[in-house]
Protein backbone atom coordinates (compact mmCIF):
# COMPACT_ATOMS: atom_id res chain seq x y z
CA UNK A 1 0.00 0.00 0.00
CA UNK A 2 1.41 3.36 -0.98
CA UNK A 3 2.04 5.96 1.67
CA UNK A 4 -0.73 8.22 0.31
CA UNK A 5 -3.25 5.40 0.38
CA UNK A 6 -2.28 4.48 3.92
CA UNK A 7 -2.73 8.10 4.97
CA UNK A 8 -6.17 8.23 3.34
CA UNK A 9 -7.17 5.01 5.11
CA UNK A 10 -6.13 6.49 8.42
CA UNK A 11 -8.09 9.68 7.74
CA UNK A 12 -11.20 7.71 6.73
CA UNK A 13 -11.05 5.88 10.05
CA UNK A 14 -10.74 9.16 11.94
CA UNK A 15 -13.62 10.73 9.99
CA UNK A 16 -15.89 7.73 10.53
CA UNK A 17 -15.14 7.78 14.26
CA UNK A 18 -16.02 11.46 14.42
CA UNK A 19 -19.23 10.96 12.47
CA UNK A 20 -20.45 7.77 14.11
CA UNK A 21 -19.58 8.27 17.77
CA UNK A 22 -21.84 10.94 19.18
CA UNK A 23 -19.98 13.22 21.54
CA UNK A 24 -22.49 16.04 21.69
CA UNK A 25 -26.21 16.04 22.35
CA UNK A 26 -26.92 15.97 18.62
CA UNK A 27 -25.51 13.83 15.83
CA UNK A 28 -23.01 15.11 13.34
CA UNK A 29 -19.81 17.03 13.42
CA UNK A 30 -18.88 20.59 12.56
CA UNK A 31 -16.49 21.57 9.80
CA UNK A 32 -13.91 22.87 12.26
CA UNK A 33 -13.72 19.52 14.08
CA UNK A 34 -13.19 17.65 10.82
CA UNK A 35 -10.57 20.15 9.73
CA UNK A 36 -8.80 19.82 13.08
CA UNK A 37 -8.85 16.03 13.31
CA UNK A 38 -8.84 14.89 9.66
CA UNK A 39 -7.09 17.82 7.97
CA UNK A 40 -7.86 20.43 5.35
CA UNK A 41 -8.62 17.74 2.74
CA UNK A 42 -11.53 16.47 4.85
CA UNK A 43 -14.01 16.84 1.96
CA UNK A 44 -12.06 14.35 -0.16
CA UNK A 45 -11.91 12.02 2.84
CA UNK A 46 -15.69 12.33 3.38
CA UNK A 47 -16.26 11.52 -0.31
CA UNK A 48 -14.17 8.36 0.04
CA UNK A 49 -16.05 7.45 3.23
CA UNK A 50 -19.38 8.09 1.50
CA UNK A 51 -18.46 5.63 -1.28
CA UNK A 52 -17.78 2.94 1.32
CA UNK A 53 -20.99 3.65 3.23
CA UNK A 54 -23.04 3.37 0.06
CA UNK A 55 -22.98 -0.43 0.16
CA UNK A 56 -24.40 -0.31 3.69
CA UNK A 57 -27.28 1.93 2.65
CA UNK A 58 -25.83 4.96 4.41
CA UNK A 59 -24.57 8.32 3.20
CA UNK A 60 -22.69 11.37 4.46
CA UNK A 61 -24.82 14.50 4.33
CA UNK A 62 -23.89 18.14 4.62
CA UNK A 63 -26.31 20.63 6.12
CA UNK A 64 -26.06 24.25 7.20
CA UNK A 65 -26.29 24.75 10.96
CA UNK A 66 -26.00 28.24 12.44
CA UNK A 67 -24.46 29.46 9.20
CA UNK A 68 -21.75 26.80 9.16
CA UNK A 69 -21.55 23.39 7.45
CA UNK A 70 -22.31 20.35 9.58
CA UNK A 71 -21.82 16.77 8.45
CA UNK A 72 -23.71 13.68 9.54
CA UNK A 73 -24.36 10.13 8.41
CA UNK A 74 -27.94 9.26 7.50
CA UNK A 75 -29.76 6.30 6.04
CA UNK A 76 -29.66 6.59 2.24
CA UNK A 77 -33.23 6.96 0.98
CA UNK A 78 -36.08 5.63 3.08
CA UNK A 79 -35.42 3.29 6.04
CA UNK A 80 -35.73 -0.31 4.81
CA UNK A 81 -37.33 -1.46 8.08
CA UNK A 82 -41.04 -1.26 8.72
CA UNK A 83 -42.12 1.14 11.45
CA UNK A 84 -42.91 -0.79 14.60
CA UNK A 85 -43.01 0.12 18.29
CA UNK A 86 -39.93 -1.96 19.10
CA UNK A 87 -37.70 -0.17 16.64
CA UNK A 88 -36.21 1.80 19.48
CA UNK A 89 -35.30 4.91 17.51
CA UNK A 90 -38.18 7.27 18.18
CA UNK A 91 -41.52 6.60 19.81
CA UNK A 92 -44.54 6.44 17.52
CA UNK A 93 -46.15 9.46 19.21
CA UNK A 94 -42.90 11.43 18.86
CA UNK A 95 -42.84 10.63 15.14
CA UNK A 96 -46.49 11.69 14.83
CA UNK A 97 -45.84 14.90 16.79
CA UNK A 98 -42.89 15.73 14.56
CA UNK A 99 -44.96 15.00 11.45
CA UNK A 100 -47.65 17.38 12.75
CA UNK A 101 -45.20 20.17 13.61
CA UNK A 102 -43.42 19.89 10.27
CA UNK A 103 -46.68 19.75 8.32
CA UNK A 104 -47.96 22.82 10.15
CA UNK A 105 -44.76 24.77 9.47
CA UNK A 106 -44.78 23.63 5.83
CA UNK A 107 -48.34 24.86 5.46
CA UNK A 108 -47.34 28.23 6.95
CA UNK A 109 -44.38 28.98 4.74
CA UNK A 110 -41.74 27.50 7.05
CA UNK A 111 -42.34 29.51 10.22
CA UNK A 112 -45.09 29.93 12.81
CA UNK A 113 -45.50 31.29 16.36
CA UNK A 114 -44.78 28.61 19.02
CA UNK A 115 -48.25 29.05 20.54
CA UNK A 116 -49.93 28.17 17.22
CA UNK A 117 -47.78 25.06 16.67
CA UNK A 118 -48.43 23.97 20.25
CA UNK A 119 -52.14 24.52 19.84
CA UNK A 120 -52.09 22.45 16.62
CA UNK A 121 -50.38 19.55 18.40
CA UNK A 122 -52.93 19.77 21.20
CA UNK A 123 -55.44 18.50 18.65
CA UNK A 124 -53.91 15.03 19.12
CA UNK A 125 -51.88 15.21 22.33
CA UNK A 126 -52.50 16.47 25.88
CA UNK A 127 -51.16 20.00 26.43
CA UNK A 128 -48.24 18.82 28.55
CA UNK A 129 -47.18 16.16 26.05
CA UNK A 130 -47.42 18.66 23.18
CA UNK A 131 -45.15 21.05 25.08
CA UNK A 132 -42.58 18.36 25.91
CA UNK A 133 -42.58 17.03 22.34
CA UNK A 134 -41.87 20.49 20.94
CA UNK A 135 -39.16 21.12 23.53
CA UNK A 136 -37.55 17.83 22.49
CA UNK A 137 -37.70 18.68 18.78
CA UNK A 138 -36.02 22.01 19.51
CA UNK A 139 -33.31 20.30 21.55
CA UNK A 140 -32.72 17.70 18.85
CA UNK A 141 -32.48 20.28 16.05
CA UNK A 142 -35.65 19.24 14.21
CA UNK A 143 -37.08 22.69 14.95
CA UNK A 144 -35.30 25.98 15.47
CA UNK A 145 -36.25 29.26 17.10
CA UNK A 146 -35.98 32.11 14.60
CA UNK A 147 -34.80 35.62 15.42
CA UNK A 148 -38.33 36.82 16.12
CA UNK A 149 -39.09 33.84 18.36
CA UNK A 150 -41.01 31.86 15.69
CA UNK A 151 -40.56 28.12 15.22
CA UNK A 152 -38.75 27.32 11.98
CA UNK A 153 -37.65 24.15 10.20
CA UNK A 154 -34.48 22.96 11.97
CA UNK A 155 -31.14 21.90 10.48
CA UNK A 156 -31.74 18.25 11.33
CA UNK A 157 -35.07 18.22 9.51
CA UNK A 158 -33.29 19.66 6.46
CA UNK A 159 -30.78 16.81 6.67
CA UNK A 160 -33.22 13.98 7.35
CA UNK A 161 -36.75 14.76 6.19
CA UNK A 162 -38.12 15.10 2.67
CA UNK A 163 -40.84 17.66 3.40
CA UNK A 164 -42.58 17.41 0.02
CA UNK A 165 -42.74 13.61 0.41
CA UNK A 166 -44.14 14.03 3.92
CA UNK A 167 -46.84 16.43 2.69
CA UNK A 168 -47.68 14.10 -0.20
CA UNK A 169 -47.97 11.07 2.10
CA UNK A 170 -50.11 12.93 4.66
CA UNK A 171 -52.51 14.18 2.00
CA UNK A 172 -52.72 10.82 0.25
CA UNK A 173 -53.29 8.93 3.54
CA UNK A 174 -56.14 11.20 4.62
CA UNK A 175 -59.72 9.99 4.13
CA UNK A 176 -60.99 11.29 0.80
CA UNK A 177 -63.60 13.58 2.38
CA UNK A 178 -60.89 15.40 4.37
CA UNK A 179 -58.37 15.82 1.57
CA UNK A 180 -60.94 16.92 -0.99
CA UNK A 181 -62.79 19.29 1.33
CA UNK A 182 -62.45 22.86 0.10
CA UNK A 183 -59.68 22.03 -2.39
CA UNK A 184 -59.84 25.42 -4.00
CA UNK A 185 -58.97 27.25 -0.77
CA UNK A 186 -55.99 29.50 -1.54
CA UNK A 187 -52.80 29.28 0.55
CA UNK B 1 -52.37 50.99 20.34
CA UNK B 2 -51.81 51.14 16.58
CA UNK B 3 -48.47 52.50 15.38
CA UNK B 4 -48.72 56.16 14.40
CA UNK B 5 -46.33 56.66 11.51
CA UNK B 6 -45.67 54.57 8.43
CA UNK B 7 -42.11 53.99 9.73
CA UNK B 8 -43.43 52.54 12.98
CA UNK B 9 -45.98 50.46 11.09
CA UNK B 10 -43.27 48.99 8.84
CA UNK B 11 -41.03 48.13 11.81
CA UNK B 12 -44.01 46.58 13.61
CA UNK B 13 -44.94 44.57 10.51
CA UNK B 14 -41.41 43.20 10.24
CA UNK B 15 -41.49 42.19 13.91
CA UNK B 16 -44.74 40.29 13.27
CA UNK B 17 -43.28 38.61 10.17
CA UNK B 18 -40.19 37.52 12.12
CA UNK B 19 -42.37 36.15 14.92
CA UNK B 20 -44.37 34.15 12.38
CA UNK B 21 -47.52 36.09 13.28
CA UNK B 22 -48.00 37.55 9.79
CA UNK B 23 -47.19 36.51 6.27
CA UNK B 24 -44.52 38.66 4.58
CA UNK B 25 -46.87 38.87 1.60
CA UNK B 26 -49.52 40.63 3.70
CA UNK B 27 -47.49 43.84 3.41
CA UNK B 28 -47.40 46.03 0.28
CA UNK B 29 -43.68 46.72 0.04
CA UNK B 30 -43.85 49.00 -3.01
CA UNK B 31 -46.54 51.24 -1.51
CA UNK B 32 -44.67 51.33 1.81
CA UNK B 33 -41.44 52.40 0.11
CA UNK B 34 -43.30 55.25 -1.59
CA UNK B 35 -45.03 56.27 1.65
CA UNK B 36 -41.72 56.22 3.52
CA UNK B 37 -40.19 58.52 0.91
CA UNK B 38 -43.10 60.94 1.28
CA UNK B 39 -42.98 60.79 5.08
CA UNK B 40 -39.29 61.65 5.08
CA UNK B 41 -40.03 65.00 3.43
CA UNK B 42 -37.65 67.41 1.71
CA UNK B 43 -35.70 68.49 4.82
CA UNK B 44 -35.39 65.58 7.26
CA UNK B 45 -33.57 66.06 10.56
CA UNK B 46 -31.18 63.55 12.15
CA UNK B 47 -33.90 61.67 14.07
CA UNK B 48 -36.02 61.39 10.93
CA UNK B 49 -33.09 59.91 9.04
CA UNK B 50 -32.39 57.37 11.80
CA UNK B 51 -36.05 56.30 11.99
CA UNK B 52 -36.23 56.15 8.20
CA UNK B 53 -33.13 53.92 8.07
CA UNK B 54 -34.72 51.58 10.63
CA UNK B 55 -37.91 51.41 8.57
CA UNK B 56 -36.02 50.79 5.31
CA UNK B 57 -34.06 48.04 7.07
CA UNK B 58 -37.33 46.48 8.27
CA UNK B 59 -38.77 46.75 4.76
CA UNK B 60 -35.75 44.95 3.30
CA UNK B 61 -36.24 42.31 6.01
CA UNK B 62 -39.83 41.80 4.80
CA UNK B 63 -38.56 41.42 1.22
CA UNK B 64 -35.97 38.92 2.49
CA UNK B 65 -38.70 36.95 4.29
CA UNK B 66 -40.79 36.93 1.08
CA UNK B 67 -37.81 35.49 -0.80
CA UNK B 68 -37.28 32.83 1.86
CA UNK B 69 -40.94 31.85 1.82
CA UNK B 70 -41.03 31.58 -1.98
CA UNK B 71 -37.88 29.44 -1.86
CA UNK B 72 -39.39 27.27 0.88
CA UNK B 73 -42.72 26.78 -0.89
CA UNK B 74 -40.92 25.96 -4.15
CA UNK B 75 -38.68 23.39 -2.46
CA UNK B 76 -41.44 21.74 -0.43
CA UNK B 77 -43.79 21.54 -3.44
CA UNK B 78 -46.87 22.00 -1.29
CA UNK B 79 -49.58 23.19 -3.61
CA UNK B 80 -52.37 23.44 -1.09
CA UNK B 81 -51.27 24.16 2.51
CA UNK B 82 -54.90 24.28 3.65
CA UNK B 83 -55.47 20.72 2.46
CA UNK B 84 -52.28 19.59 4.20
CA UNK B 85 -53.48 21.00 7.53
CA UNK B 86 -56.94 19.44 7.12
CA UNK B 87 -55.38 16.08 6.24
CA UNK B 88 -53.27 16.13 9.40
CA UNK B 89 -56.44 16.75 11.41
CA UNK B 90 -58.14 13.72 9.90
CA UNK B 91 -55.29 11.25 10.47
CA UNK B 92 -54.61 9.30 13.65
CA UNK B 93 -51.26 9.21 15.44
CA UNK B 94 -50.14 5.92 13.83
CA UNK B 95 -50.88 7.15 10.30
CA UNK B 96 -48.96 10.37 10.91
CA UNK B 97 -46.00 8.46 12.34
CA UNK B 98 -46.06 6.17 9.33
CA UNK B 99 -46.13 9.15 6.92
CA UNK B 100 -43.04 10.61 8.57
CA UNK B 101 -41.30 7.24 8.70
CA UNK B 102 -41.70 6.95 4.93
CA UNK B 103 -40.28 10.45 4.39
CA UNK B 104 -37.28 10.37 6.69
CA UNK B 105 -33.68 9.27 6.30
CA UNK B 106 -32.72 9.09 9.99
CA UNK B 107 -29.24 10.10 11.03
CA UNK B 108 -27.05 7.26 12.20
CA UNK B 109 -24.75 7.49 15.19
CA UNK B 110 -23.72 5.59 18.25
CA UNK B 111 -24.19 7.21 21.65
CA UNK B 112 -21.07 6.54 23.68
CA UNK B 113 -22.67 4.35 26.29
CA UNK B 114 -20.27 1.86 27.81
CA UNK B 115 -21.14 -1.25 29.77
CA UNK B 116 -19.58 0.40 32.82
CA UNK B 117 -21.83 3.42 32.45
CA UNK B 118 -24.89 1.23 32.18
CA UNK B 119 -23.95 -0.70 35.32
CA UNK B 120 -23.19 2.55 37.13
CA UNK B 121 -26.53 4.04 36.16
CA UNK B 122 -28.36 1.13 37.72
CA UNK B 123 -26.24 0.77 40.85
CA UNK B 124 -25.22 4.32 41.74
CA UNK B 125 -28.68 5.43 42.68
CA UNK B 126 -31.20 2.74 41.82
CA UNK B 127 -34.13 4.61 43.28
CA UNK B 128 -33.27 7.85 41.50
CA UNK B 129 -36.19 9.08 39.47
CA UNK B 130 -35.68 10.70 36.10
CA UNK B 131 -34.41 14.24 36.74
CA UNK B 132 -35.42 17.01 34.36
CA UNK B 133 -32.53 18.78 32.61
CA UNK B 134 -33.36 22.02 34.39
CA UNK B 135 -32.96 20.32 37.78
CA UNK B 136 -29.89 18.23 37.02
CA UNK B 137 -27.25 20.76 38.00
CA UNK B 138 -28.72 21.31 41.42
CA UNK B 139 -29.89 17.75 42.08
CA UNK B 140 -26.65 16.12 43.33
CA UNK B 141 -25.65 18.99 45.62
CA UNK B 142 -27.87 18.24 48.63
CA UNK B 143 -26.53 14.67 48.53
CA UNK B 144 -22.96 15.93 48.52
CA UNK B 145 -23.72 18.06 51.58
CA UNK B 146 -21.19 20.66 50.47
CA UNK B 147 -21.97 24.22 51.43
CA UNK B 148 -20.10 27.45 50.90
CA UNK B 149 -19.11 27.83 54.53
CA UNK B 150 -15.77 28.65 56.12
CA UNK B 151 -14.61 25.07 55.61
CA UNK B 152 -15.29 25.20 51.86
CA UNK B 153 -12.04 26.99 50.91
CA UNK B 154 -9.79 24.57 52.80
CA UNK B 155 -11.64 21.66 51.22
CA UNK B 156 -10.85 22.99 47.72
CA UNK B 157 -7.23 23.59 48.79
CA UNK B 158 -7.01 20.03 50.09
CA UNK B 159 -8.28 18.47 46.85
CA UNK B 160 -5.86 20.58 44.78
CA UNK B 161 -2.98 19.48 47.03
CA UNK B 162 -4.10 15.87 46.69
CA UNK B 163 -4.15 16.26 42.91
CA UNK B 164 -0.65 17.78 42.93
CA UNK B 165 0.65 14.82 44.92
CA UNK B 166 -1.08 12.28 42.69
CA UNK B 167 -0.41 13.84 39.31
CA UNK B 168 3.12 15.27 39.67
CA UNK B 169 2.58 17.67 36.76
CA UNK B 170 1.16 14.90 34.58
CA UNK B 171 -2.41 14.54 33.34
CA UNK B 172 -4.45 11.99 35.25
CA UNK B 173 -7.86 10.48 34.63
CA UNK B 174 -10.65 12.66 36.02
CA UNK B 175 -13.04 9.80 36.73
CA UNK B 176 -10.58 7.70 38.69
CA UNK B 177 -9.54 10.77 40.69
CA UNK B 178 -13.04 11.74 41.77
CA UNK B 179 -13.80 8.09 42.59
CA UNK B 180 -11.24 8.12 45.40
CA UNK B 181 -13.79 9.50 47.85
CA UNK B 182 -17.29 10.92 47.85
CA UNK B 183 -17.74 11.20 44.11
CA UNK B 184 -20.21 14.08 44.01
CA UNK B 185 -18.42 16.13 46.65
CA UNK B 186 -15.05 15.72 44.97
CA UNK B 187 -16.47 16.60 41.54
CA UNK B 188 -18.11 19.68 43.04
CA UNK B 189 -14.94 20.84 44.80
CA UNK B 190 -12.85 20.21 41.69
CA UNK B 191 -15.22 22.30 39.58
CA UNK B 192 -14.33 25.32 41.71
CA UNK B 193 -10.60 24.60 41.44
CA UNK B 194 -11.00 24.35 37.63
CA UNK B 195 -12.95 27.61 37.38
CA UNK B 196 -10.36 29.24 39.60
CA UNK B 197 -7.61 28.16 37.19
CA UNK B 198 -5.83 25.96 39.74
CA UNK B 199 -6.63 22.76 37.87
CA UNK B 200 -6.60 22.30 34.10
CA UNK B 201 -9.26 20.08 32.57
CA UNK B 202 -8.97 18.51 29.14
CA UNK B 203 -11.60 16.57 27.19
CA UNK B 204 -10.25 14.46 24.34
CA UNK B 205 -12.39 15.29 21.28
CA UNK B 206 -12.16 11.74 19.91
CA UNK B 207 -12.44 9.46 22.92
CA UNK B 208 -14.26 11.86 25.22
CA UNK B 209 -11.80 10.93 28.00
CA UNK B 210 -11.53 13.62 30.65
CA UNK B 211 -8.15 14.33 32.21
CA UNK B 212 -7.01 16.86 34.80
CA UNK B 213 -3.68 18.23 35.96
CA UNK B 214 -2.63 20.88 38.45
CA UNK B 215 -1.98 24.26 36.91
CA UNK B 216 1.42 25.86 37.44
CA UNK B 217 -0.07 29.32 37.56
CA UNK B 218 -3.60 30.37 38.35
CA UNK B 219 -5.46 31.33 35.15
CA UNK B 220 -9.15 31.94 35.71
CA UNK B 221 -11.42 30.66 33.00
CA UNK B 222 -14.89 31.72 31.96
CA UNK B 223 -15.32 28.73 29.64
CA UNK B 224 -17.70 26.07 30.90
CA UNK B 225 -17.53 22.34 30.36
CA UNK B 226 -20.61 20.35 31.33
CA UNK B 227 -19.81 16.98 32.87
CA UNK B 228 -22.90 14.91 33.58
CA UNK B 229 -21.95 12.57 36.39
CA UNK B 230 -24.63 10.12 35.42
CA UNK B 231 -22.98 9.71 32.03
CA UNK B 232 -19.46 9.03 33.31
CA UNK B 233 -18.08 5.49 33.23
CA UNK B 234 -18.21 5.02 37.00
CA UNK B 235 -18.27 1.52 38.37
Distance from CA of A89 to the nearest CA of B (A): 9
Instruction: Tell me: do B123 and B163 sit in the same domain.
Output: yes
Instruction: Indicate yes or no: CB of A174 within 8 angstroms of CB of B19.
Output: no
Asked if the structure places residue B18 within a domain, the reply is yes
Instruction: Tell me: do B124 and B204 sit in the same domain.
Output: yes
- Final residue of a domain: which of B49, B72, B101? B101
Q: Taking a C-beta distance cutoff of 8 angstroms, is the pair B21, A113 a contact?
A: yes
> Chain A residues with CB inside 8 Å of B58's CB?
none
Asked if the structure places residue B106 within a domain, the reply is no
> Chain B residues with CB inside 8 Å of A151's CB?
20
**Mean pLDDT, chain B, integer:** 76
Instruction: Tell me: do B41 and B142 sit in the same domain.
Output: no
Number of H helices, E strands in chain B: 11, 4
In sequence order, the β-bridge partners of residue A29 are: A71
In chain B, the residue whose alpha carbon lies closest to the alpha carbon of A36 is: B205
Residue bearing the bigger pLDDT, A48 or B24 = A48
Note down pLDDT in tens along chain A; length 187 residues: 577 888 889 999 999 988 888 766 778 888 998 999 999 999 999 999 999 999 988 999 998 888 889 999 998 887 777 666 555 567 888 999 999 999 999 888 888 999 999 999 999 999 899 999 999 999 889 999 988 889 999 999 999 999 888 988 898 888 765 555 444 343 3
**Rounded-to-integer distance, Cα A94 and Cα A137, Å:** 9
In sequence order, the β-bridge partners of residue B192 are: none
pLDDT higher than threshold 60 for residue B203: yes
**Residue A117: what pLDDT?**
93
Architecture of the domain defined by A85-180:
Orthogonal Bundle (1.10)
Q: Taking a C-beta distance cutoff of 8 angstroms, is the pair B118, A29 a contact?
A: no
ipTM of the complex: 0.83
- Tens of pLDDT, residues A4-23: 888 889 999 999 988 888 76
**Rounded-to-integer distance, Cα B62 and Cα B200, Å:** 48
Q: Between A76, A156, A178, which is nearest B89 by CB?
A: A178
Instruction: Tell me: do B131 and B215 sit in the same domain.
Output: yes
For position B186, which CATH number holds?
Answer: 1.10.10.10
Q: Between A113, A162, A183, which is nearest B103 by CB?
A: A162
In chain B, the residue whose alpha carbon lies closest to the alpha carbon of A176 is: B87
- Final residue of a domain: which of B101, B128, B144? B101
As a dihedral over the C-alpha atoms of residue A5, residue A16, residue A99, residue B134, rounded to 10 degrees, the angle is -150
- Final residue of a domain: which of B69, B101, B133? B101
Domain map (residue ranges) of chain A: 3-75, 85-180
- CATH code of domain A3-75: 1.10.10.10
Domain that holds residue B227: 115-231
Asked if the structure places residue B150 within a domain, the reply is yes
Within 8 A by CB and 6+ apart from A34, the residues are A15, A18, A42, A46, A71
Instruction: Tell me: do B126 and B213 sit in the same domain.
Output: yes
Instruction: Indicate yes or no: CB of A166 within 8 angstroms of CB of B103.
Output: yes
Asked if the structure places residue B110 within a domain, the reply is no
Q: How many domains does chain B have?
A: 2
Instruction: Tell me: do B41 and B79 sit in the same domain.
Output: yes
Strand ranges in A99-150 using DSSP code E only, listed in sequence order: 111-112, 143-145
Instruction: Tell me: do B86 and B179 sit in the same domain.
Output: no
Instruction: Indicate yes or no: CB of B205 within 8 angstroms of CB of A23.
Output: yes
Asked if the structure places residue B109 within a domain, the reply is no
Chains A, B: CB contacts within 8 A come to: 217
Q: How far is CA A12 from the centre of its chain?
A: 24
| Percent of chain A that is helix, strand, coil (3-state, to 5) | 55, 15, 30
- Tens of pLDDT, residues A73-89: 998 887 777 666 555 56
Instruction: Indicate yes or no: CB of A100 within 8 angstroms of CB of B96.
Output: yes
Amino acid sequence: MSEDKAKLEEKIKKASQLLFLRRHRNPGVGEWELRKVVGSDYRAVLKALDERLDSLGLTVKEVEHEGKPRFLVTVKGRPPLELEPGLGWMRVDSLAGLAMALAFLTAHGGRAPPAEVESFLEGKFPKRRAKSLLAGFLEEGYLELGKGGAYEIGWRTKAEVDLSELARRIISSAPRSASSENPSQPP
Amino acid sequence: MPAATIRERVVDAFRKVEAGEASPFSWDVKASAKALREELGPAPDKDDLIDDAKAVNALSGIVGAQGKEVEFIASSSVLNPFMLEKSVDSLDVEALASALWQSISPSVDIPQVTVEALIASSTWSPSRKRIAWSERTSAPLPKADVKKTDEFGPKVDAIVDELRAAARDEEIDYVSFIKRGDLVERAYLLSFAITDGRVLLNVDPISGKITIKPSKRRVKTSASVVIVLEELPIE
